Each structure stands twice: as structure tokens, then as C-alpha cells.
Amino acid sequence: MTLLSFTWNGDPKKIDAYSNLAVAYHQRGEINKAIATIEKALRVDSNNPSLRQMLRELKRVEN
């Protein structure tokens, strides 16, 4: 998690880093952190269909 967090903090415009971090959180069962990470990514790229799909899926898992 540290490496992904470092990548993500180093360049917030790297959407792949946000996605990877969210996947890592999801795999650890930290759904709320995964959702928050994707929501931050969407603030950078609000029209990204992959991020929107990820968020929908994470929210479905959350419930």
C-alpha cells in the first residue's frame, strides 16, 4: 500500500494510480477507502467512464 500511496500522492493526475490504489483497498476489504479514492480520481477526471463504473461496483459491494 505504501508504494501505491506514494505514486498517488506524487502525481494526482495519474488516474491509473488512483485505480490501482482503489483495487488494493478493495482487495483488503477496505471498501470505504476504495470508494473515497475513486471519488478523488473523479474530481480529477469527472468524465472517465472506467472510474464511474468502478464507483458503481464499489457502492454495490458496500451495500
- pLDDT tens digits, residue range 12-37? 567 888 888 999 999 999 999 999 99
The confidence score (pLDDT) of residue 6 equals 44
- Kindly report the pTM of this predicted structure: 0.79
Q: What is the mean pLDDT of the chain?
A: 83
User: Can you count the helices (H) and strands (E) in the chain?
Assistant: 4, 0
Question: Which domain, by its residues, includes 55?
Answer: 2-62
The CATH number linked to 12 is 1.25.40.10
The confidence score (pLDDT) of residue 15 equals 83
Q: How far is 10 from 62, CA to CA, in rounded Å?
A: 28
Cell of 35: 470508494
Indicate the number of domains in the chain: 1
